[in-house]
Amino acid sequence: MIGPTEAIRRAAQRRDLPAIFGKTNRHDVPTPLLIIQALIVTVMTLPFLFLKDVSTAFLVLTALSGTVYLVMYIMMFAAAIRLRYSKPLIERHFEVPGGMLGIWLVSGIGILISIVALILSFIPPAADQVDVGNPYLYVGLEVGIFCIVVLIGLFIPMHPERLPDNEQA
């Protein structure tokens, strides 16, 4: 349990995240992060309480992990377009061919496919495939937990006043 929280703590110490994420107790354990992690895991286990059976809850959690990754892909494709405009002269290891049209085409198709997949992920499976019980409860839990996870990400501001680049992490 401490592995991911340690990486977040170090990012906070580099001022990539708010200082609260870098706080530790007298045993050098990132207590605020462990509490946040416990709250997130608690929210993520809500499907086990409200859905018909464990396999349905597992299906919801699997679909949720996919939706969170799709949001990340949408942001990644959008960042590719933005970086092409904001930092056009930077040397890249790989560059999408076709100039601005190429980056817009590749990233635009990627964003479009990701949005379609995101929308489709909220549609419950057919009853003959997996009986999810009440489909409204299924979709409600999936949308609700998805929104909570995305909102958590939106409320963690990045800090532009980072440490100098030459400092060792």
Q: According to the model, what pLDDT value does residue 158 have?
A: 57
Structure tokens at 11: 């990012």
Is it the case that residue 3 has pLDDT exceeding 50? yes
Each domain of the chain, given as residue ranges in start order, spans 1-44, 50-154
pLDDT digits (tens, 9 = 90+) for 14-41: 877 777 888 888 988 888 888 888 887 8
Between CA 40 and CA 65 the distance in angstroms is: 13
What pLDDT is recorded for position 163? 45
pLDDT 10s digits, 49-107: 877 788 878 887 888 888 988 998 999 999 999 999 998 888 888 888 888 999 999 99
Question: In percent, how much of the chain has pLDDT > 70?
Answer: 89
- From 47, 76, 73, 40, select the one nearest 61 (Cα to Cα): 47
